[in-house]
Amino acid sequence: MKELPQKSEGRISRLDQLLTLQLNGEATQADSDELNRLLQSEPEAISDYVELVTDSSVFRGFSEAASYCAGPGRESEDAGGKPLTLLDRSVRSRMHQRAPLAYIVTAASIFLAVVLLLSRNDDNTTSVAAGGEGGVTNTLVSADRSATVGNGSASRGAEEGVPKAVTGEVATVIRADDVVWAKDNIDVDELTRVSVGQTLHLTSGELELVFDRSVRMRVRGPALLELRSPTEVYSRFGVLSARVGKAGRGFAIETPNGRIVDLGTEFGVAVDEKGSTAVAVFRGAVDLMYGPQDNLLKPSVTRRLVQGQALTMDLDGSMRRLVSYDDSQFPTFRNDLPLEAGRPSSIFTNVSDNIRDGIGAKSYRIVPGGLREDVLAYVDRQHQWNGVDSSGIPSILQGADYIMPFNGDKGRSNLSVEVTVGRPSRLFVFMSPIAKVPEWLTDEFTKTDMQIGLDESGEYALVDGYELARGPGKAIDTKFFVWQRDVDYPTTVVLGSVRQARRGTGYCMYGIAAVPLEVARHYDAKSN
Amino acid sequence: MPTKPTSDDSGTKTTCATVPAEVTEVMRESANGLEGDSDHGLSSMDKANFIRLWAAHKRRVYAYVLSLVPNWADADEVFQETNIRLWRDFSRFDGETDFGTWAISVAYYQVLTWRKRQSRNRLVFDDETINAIAEQHGNLLPVTDARFGALRDCFQELHDRQRELITRFYAPGTSVDELGRSIGKTRAAVYKALQRIRASLRNCIERRLKRDHLA
């Protein structure tokens, strides 16, 4: 159930074996499949794998350093200065025949250094040493006093040699799905570099960019963007989502009426043709500032938004809560993309509650066709829905539309959630076994035999052991009971509050999902 | 071309009397390829800076590439392309940006480019796993240098024969069968011995990192 984040020597050892086979080109398809399964089984496995690869690359470096310096027919000293008998003749000769690319790169680096030094007319003392790690040999060059490198000259080098401002390419298009470019925009293919000052005007399709400064951005057409700097994009209109790594912190999206500054996060921005800006934070936090481009108001009007919050900012600067949004409004970065991501939900047309007015900023998220393994369960937590065992999420629920509510609402005694259903549907509620079953549920819904698992993240846990795992039946912390109700015509269904029935972990907010009624009935017929 | 003993950035002392003739030939060809393609206005100082920065970060970049393309030959190819791309684009590098971050991002594109050229059955990982691995490098970054250092120290603590086996096993082009024959062991025994050595190295690294409060 709860998996402690500890190192497993058995797992590491097997990973090591599989990695070694891969590196040497000796892995079978079954080995590759097993490696993938291991890596996907739990987050710790990826960490172990990266460490093992890093170690292997260092060993390769040790080995190359030794063999390079020794050369054919020579002996070298190892790092400890002890004699090291190198490879036997047959192995060594094959090594040199192969002339590995890293070896060539090494050589190129050395030669480059030499060319550099010889191109200077100064009275140089040249010292080229080879050795090192990481598949390429180190090159240290001592030139004249002003050009000494590798010896405390970093700052001077930066001052004198490296350009300060980036005016060129700052990002790469890594994906362009069904993109139709506007007539005023030259086509930009996948893996094209894009530059500061460049405009991207697409009338449809979806584009993915990776900035050199650790920012990944998805843009959905119609959209008009301009890259203003390595860390700033202007969005005239359109929808985009950005995922910002540590090195990209501070990345900014400017819009006609404001500016969104990343604070280490994943967020979505939608700018409509009139210039209103909607912002939703999926993880982390952003600062939202109001103001025309050259006259952003003082930080006092800055609004900080955190995970689960979403606001619309009108041209006059007034901000309103975006009560709910669905995945058609913002591209998502989740790898487990819902099959029907990008289309609005035909089932849930609105969600609202009696708690939040226009002042609050948290928003329900509707995910069309999105219920599957490892999807986020709540807008304000990283908990995930999963099958309770290896057979996975019950088949009728797979691919269902679902709503991400607030786990923080589990303690509200007067909660009333209004879910508007736009077509005949079967509505599901997932209820924690720790909750006292409320009357609104027993009155309107029927308890099924189905269960769905919640894999809790440790973000708010007071005890260790809440680690997310990938796939069904892994690290399931609580098994929720599934209740259902058929809704024969479009209507608004009101769901109420929950209370904790007894002490224990696993008391979380209920989940909400739905499938079209005809799909549910077809499933019933097949099951019977 | 005279050279003298120095240390690389890992602190591993190497002794090279001369650069072998076949290497200088390769150097010339490779450098001609780089220089001939474009000098793109780099000053001598730019070139020196590039060499210095690359020397400081190549180890991390190679480990990164190898984790995403877990095959020596393929990783070497991607690594070389990354090196060339960095060299070509160095005039656009902003001195205020962390070179390592920039190099890793370029390496990532080169991995994607390489993956596009391959048939699906040659790819070990799907996109999801690739992203998870790439992300994990960022998470481990704070301890990466410490781990390199600990590994280097632990490597020195191995017995001579253990060190020799590692050195030979990881030499480019090594055939495990040939290696086994040369030391009178079966292929399985070579792998088993290697696993044991690596396990003891891992334990040693963990101990050192824990001692330094980094694990």
In a shared domain, residues B161 and B174: yes
* Beta-carbon separation of A161 and B49 below 8 A: yes
* Beta-carbon separation of A149 and B106 below 8 A: no
Residue B96 within a domain? yes
Average pLDDT of the residues in A83-91: 30
Task: Identify the structural domains of chain A with CATH numbers, from first to last.
Answer: 9-98 (no CATH), 101-160 (no CATH), 169-322 (2.60.120.1440), 348-527 (no CATH)
Q: Which amino acid is at A209?
A: L
In a shared domain, residues B198 and B151: yes
* Beta-carbon separation of B8 and A132 below 8 A: yes
Q: Give residue A196's pLDDT band: very low, low, confident or very high (50, 70, 90).
A: confident
B68, B70, B73, B77 alpha-carbon torsion, rounded to 10°? 0
* Beta-carbon separation of B170 and A59 below 8 A: yes
Write the DSSP string, B15-63: --SB--HHHHHHHHHHHHHHHHH--TT--HHHHHHHHHHHHHHHHHHHH
Partner A contacted by B70 (CB < 8 A): yes
d(CA A280, CA A266): 9
Query: Mind telling me how many Å the CA of B58 is from chain A's nearest CA?
Result: 6
Q: Count residue pairs from A and B with Cβ separation < 8 A.
A: 389
Give residue A496's pLDDT: 94
Residue B130 within a domain? no
Which residue does chain B place closest to A50, by CA atoms?
B67
Token readout for A360 is 């609050």
In a shared domain, residues B88 and B154: no
Nearest alpha carbon to residue B19 among A79, A86, A69: A69
Q: What share of chain A is helix, strand, coil (3-state, %, to 5)?
A: 25, 30, 45
Q: Give residue A173's pLDDT band: very low, low, confident or very high (50, 70, 90).
A: confident
Nearest alpha carbon to residue A141 among A120, A127, A121, A157: A127
Residue B71 within a domain? yes
Q: Give residue B109's pLDDT band: very low, low, confident or very high (50, 70, 90).
A: confident
Give residue A138's pLDDT: 28
Residue B136 within a domain? no
Q: Which of B124, B159, B186 is the last residue of a domain?
A: B124
Helix (H, G, I), strand (E, B) or coil at A211: strand
Nearest alpha carbon to residue A384 among A465, A458, A306: A458
Q: How many domains is chain B built from?
A: 3
B19, B22, B24, B25 alpha-carbon torsion, rounded to 10°? 180
Q: Decide if A36 contacts B125 (C-beta within 8 A).
A: yes
Query: Mind telling me how many Å the CA of A96 is from chain B's nearest CA?
Result: 9
Partner A contacted by B20 (CB < 8 A): yes
Q: Which of B124, B153, B172 is the last residue of a domain?
A: B124
Partner A contacted by B204 (CB < 8 A): no
* Beta-carbon separation of B109 and A169 below 8 A: no
SS (H, E, C) A29-73: HHHHHHHHHHHHHCHHHHHHHHHHHHHHHHHHHHHHHHHHHHCCC
Partner A contacted by B3 (CB < 8 A): yes
Q: Which of residues 115-174 of B touch A (CB under 8 A)?
A: 116, 121, 124-129, 131-133, 136-140, 144, 147-148, 151-152, 155-156, 160, 163-164, 166-174
Q: Which of B97, B124, B151 is the last residue of a domain?
A: B124
Helix (H, G, I), strand (E, B) or coil at A459: coil
Helix (H, G, I), strand (E, B) or coil at A96: helix
Query: What's the CA angle centered on B116, arms B93 and B94, to 5 degrees?
Result: 5
Q: Give residue A360's pLDDT band: very low, low, confident or very high (50, 70, 90).
A: low
In a shared domain, residues B50 and B119: yes
Token readout for A335 is 């790898």
Residues of A in contact with B73 (CB under 8 A): 25, 100-101
pLDDT: is A344 or B105 the higher one?
B105
Residues of A in contact with B144 (CB under 8 A): 54
Sign of dihedral through CA atoms B39, B44, B45, B49?
A: positive
Q: Which of B1, B102, B174 sits opposite A91 (nearest CB)?
A: B174
Residues of B in contact with A165 (CB under 8 A): 94
Q: How many C-alpha atoms does A416 have within 13 Å on its Cβ side? A: 5
Give residue B44's pLDDT: 63
Q: Give residue B43's pLDDT band: very low, low, confident or very high (50, 70, 90).
A: low
Give the CATH number, domain containing residue B188: 1.10.10
* Beta-carbon separation of A79 and B12 below 8 A: yes
Instruction: Answer whether residue A463 shows pLDDT above 50.
Output: no
How does pLDDT run across A261-317, given as a tens digit for each residue?
988 788 999 998 888 899 998 888 888 888 755 444 444 467 888 887 888 888 777
In a shared domain, residues B149 and B211: yes
* Of A26-30, A290-294, A385-389, B162-166, minimum mean pLDDT range: A290-294
d(CA A474, CA A459): 18
In a shared domain, residues B48 and B120: yes
* Beta-carbon separation of A247 and B101 below 8 A: yes
Partner A contacted by B192 (CB < 8 A): no
> CB neighbours of A40 closer than 8 A, spacing ≥ 6?
A470, A471, B128, B129
* Beta-carbon separation of B170 and A157 below 8 A: no
Residue B65 within a domain? yes
How does pLDDT run across B5-29, given as a tens digit for each residue?
233 333 333 333 333 333 333 333 3
* Beta-carbon separation of B55 and A139 below 8 A: yes
* Beta-carbon separation of A116 and B66 below 8 A: no
Instruction: Answer whether residue A223 shows pLDDT above 90.
Output: yes
In a shared domain, residues B147 and B86: no
Return the exposure string of A403-418: e unless at least 16 CB atoms fall within 10 Å of the residue's CB, then b.
Answer: bbbbbebbebeebebe
Return the exposure string of B72-105: e unless at least 16 CB atoms fall within 10 Å of the residue's CB, then b.
Answer: bbbbbbbbbbbbbbbbebbbbbbbebebbbbbbb
Which residue does chain B place closest to A81, by CA atoms?
B13
pLDDT: is B136 or B68 the higher one?
B68
Residue B9 within a domain? yes
Give residue A292's pLDDT: 56
Residues of A in contact with B76 (CB under 8 A): 100-102, 135
Partner A contacted by B189 (CB < 8 A): no
Q: Which helix (H) or strand (E) holds A511?
A: strand A511-516
In a shared domain, residues B6 and B51: no
Residue with the two structure tokens 């052991």: A465
Instruction: Answer whether residue A100 shows pLDDT above 60.
Output: no
Q: Which of B27, B52, B137 sits opposite A50 (nearest CB)?
A: B137
Pairing state of beta strands A266-271 and A277-283? Answer: antiparallel
In a shared domain, residues B149 and B192: yes
Residues of A in contact with B98 (CB under 8 A): 247
Residues of B in contact with A161 (CB under 8 A): 43, 45-46, 48-49
Range of the domain at B172: 143-215
* Beta-carbon separation of A247 and B195 below 8 A: no
The residues with which A454 forms a beta bridge, in sequence order, are: A385, A478
d(CA A209, CA A216): 6
Q: Give residue B36's pLDDT band: very low, low, confident or very high (50, 70, 90).
A: very low
Query: Mind telling me how many Å the CA of A296 is from chain B's nearest CA?
Result: 26
Mean residue pLDDT across chain A:
73
Share of chain A above pLDDT 90, in %: 24
Q: Which of residues 29-48 of B touch A (CB under 8 A)?
A: 30-31, 33-35, 43-48
In a shared domain, residues B120 and B59: yes
Residue B134 within a domain? no
Strands (E), A94-198: 169-181, 193-195
Q: Give residue A385's pLDDT band: very low, low, confident or very high (50, 70, 90).
A: very high
Average pLDDT of the residues in B137-147: 69
Pairing state of beta strands A232-244 and A252-255? Answer: parallel
Instruction: Answer whether residue A109 shows pLDDT above 90.
Output: no
Nearest alpha carbon to residue A20 among A9, A31, A33, A30: A31
Rounded to 5 degrees, what are φ and ψ at B178? -65, -40
Q: Is A194 exposed, middle or buried (0-12, 13-18, 19+ CB in 10 A)?
A: buried
d(CA B210, CA B215): 5
Q: Which of A69, A112, A134 sits opposite B34 (nearest CB)?
A: A112
In a shared domain, residues B154 and B193: yes
Q: Which of A12, A139, A166 sits opposite B92 (nearest CB)?
A: A166
Residue B137 within a domain? no
Give residue A238's pLDDT: 92
DSSP state of B177: H
Q: Which of A32, A61, A164 sits opposite B96 (nearest CB)?
A: A164
Residue with the two structure tokens 């000293």: A77
Residues of A in contact with B119 (CB under 8 A): none
pLDDT: is B45 or A59 the higher one?
A59
Rg (CA), chain A: 29
